[in-house]
Amino acid sequence: TGAITLDPGYKNSGSCKSDITFLDGEEGILRYRGYAIEDLADKANFLEVSYLVIFGELPTKEQLTQFETDIRRYTLVNEEMKNIIDGFPKTAHPMGVLSSLTSALTAFNPKVVNVENEKEMYEAVCKTMGKFLVIATWTYRKMMGYPLNYYDNTIGYVENFMQLMFKLPTGPYEINPVVVDALDKLFILHADHEQNCSTSTVRIVGSSHAGLFASISAGVSALWGPLHGGANQAVLEMLEEIQKDGGDADKYLAKAKDKNDPFRLMGFGHRVYKNFDPRAKIIKRAADEVLATLGVNDPILNIAKKLEESALQDEYFKSRNLYPNVDFYSGIIYRALGIPTDMFTVLFAIGRLPGWIAQWKEMRVNKEPIGRPRQVYTGHPLRSFIPMDKR
Ligand code: CMC
């Protein structure tokens, strides 16, 4: 088999060829299917970008309407799924519930397990886009003890997200277009990010020919961790802790630099971006706009600004190219929109869904081999078995 090259964390190893996302970490460039993230965030909506990411081209008006209609057809979730939701304690973290529910979908949708042709692939894509959104919001309803809502065919995908989350049986729910616009942009910015931890997980699980729901459920688990998608929740918790502790941002900056202290500045640094994260730039602007439009004056924001300013001038952060990443600002917007902290990573998952689907589809279409890394063994050489009475 020859010598094995060790590359822990795959810092320098490519795992696949991909046509989906171009990322230049030195220059801070991000493109989906060749289109600049700045253009897409500014001019397209989330389903349009989802179509682009999954199928490779921007949809025509007809294609987009068809896609939306086909997704809508699959937004009904099997009633028996509710028994599964009932089994969780209210205190369960929504990401754990989401991962389990996504996996449970396989039981009710066997065709999404065995995709055999293009038609079945298209159905699997639409089913996943439809059902995942609904169950993602159900994790919140469960946490709050609210009755579950159903998809409303008269309004759009992102509008549905808000209504599914927040509409109460006691009255009508008014959807704020400023909030919908901001969420649309945030979902677009999260739609794909080439071979990150959760996407690589989706591809590697799928490479054994496990189905789309099973692969995505694994992706949700990978995303949950605080070094990946869970960072958006961790950022807000960090900011709240700083606030409770008197608001001294510099104290926490010093902690982050102290190698004997495990604390890291959440929302800072990135494996690939060694320059400003282009998504962070767009989100930062969006955060300012949203907060101004909604008239939110959040003291947490001042702490975030102070932290950011100090870190950007600090030698430790400068020399290591540690800039604020997408998660640093997204939590601030989510909070302003009234989304509870425990749901932040679920929103990341909704945004990342088209990317996971596209990467899984590409892996299957390209007939990639099963993912199976090697290792360098560092354990004992052969040992003689010791009988129980001699141990
Ligand atoms: N605070 C303090 N020091 C840091 C930080 C941080 N946030 N991030 C990296 N460093 C230091 C690290 O200690 C190391 O220092 P040294 O060279 O002295 O040992 C150096 O910078 C390089 O870091 P690394 O851990 O080798 O880099 P990595 O590429 O393995 O990790 C990362 C990337 C994103 C996991 C890391 O920067 C981190 O833990 N950041 C905080 C969590 C976070 O915000 N994650 C979200 C990432 S973006 C979106 C997403 O993927 O969800």
The one-character DSSP state at 3 is: P
CB 201 within 8 A of CB 62: no
Q: In testing the pocket of ligand 1, which one of 271, 326, 356 has its CB within 8 Å of the most ligand atoms? A: 271
**Is the C-beta atom of 267 inside 6 A of ligand 1?**
yes
> Strands 35-36 and 21-24: what pairing?
unpaired
Q: Which CATH superfamily is domain 19-215+350-365 in?
A: Citrate Synthase, domain 1 (1.10.580.10)
Q: For CATH 1.10.230.10, list the domain ranges present in the chain.
A: 231-336
Query: How far is 42 from 86, CA to CA, in rounded Å?
Result: 40
Q: Which two tokens stand for residue 335?
A: 């909070």
Q: For CATH 1.10.580.10, list the domain ranges present in the chain.
A: 19-215+350-365
Domain covering 231-336 in this structure, CATH number: 1.10.230.10
Ligand 1: centre distance to CA 22 (Å)? 21
Q: Whose CA is nearest to atom 21 of ligand 1?
A: 320
ipTM score of the complex?
0.96
**Is the C-beta atom of 227 inside 6 A of ligand 1?**
yes
Ligand 1: centre distance to CA 299 (Å)? 26
CB 54 within 8 A of CB 358: yes
**Is the C-beta atom of 231 inside 6 A of ligand 1?**
yes
- Give one DSSP letter per residue of 256-323, joined into a string: HH-TTS----TTB--SS-SS--HHHHHHHHHHHHHHHHHT---HHHHHHHHHHHHHHH-HHHHHTT--
Ligand 1: centre distance to CA 135 (Å)? 32
Per-residue pLDDT of the chain (391 residues; tens, 9 = 90+): 578 999 999 999 999 999 999 999 999 999 999 999 999 999 999 999 999 999 999 999 999 999 999 999 999 999 999 999 999 999 999 999 999 999 999 999 877 777 889 999 999 999 999 999 999 999 999 999 999 999 999 999 999 999 999 999 998 899 999 899 999 999 999 999 999 999 999 999 999 999 999 999 999 999 999 999 999 999 999 999 999 999 999 999 999 999 999 999 999 999 999 888 899 989 888 888 888 888 888 888 889 889 999 999 999 999 999 999 988 989 888 998 889 999 999 999 999 999 999 999 999 999 999 999 999 999 999 999 999 999 9
- What predicted TM-score, i.e. pTM, was given to this entire model? 0.94
270 noted as active-site residue: yes
Q: In testing the pocket of ligand 1, which one of 189, 270, 326 has its CB within 8 Å of the most ligand atoms? A: 270
Q: Of 184, 193, 270, 277, which residue is the catalytic one?
A: 270
Query: How far is 31 from 23, CA to CA, in rounded Å?
Result: 7
Q: Of 192, 277, 314, 327, which residue is the catalytic one?
A: 327
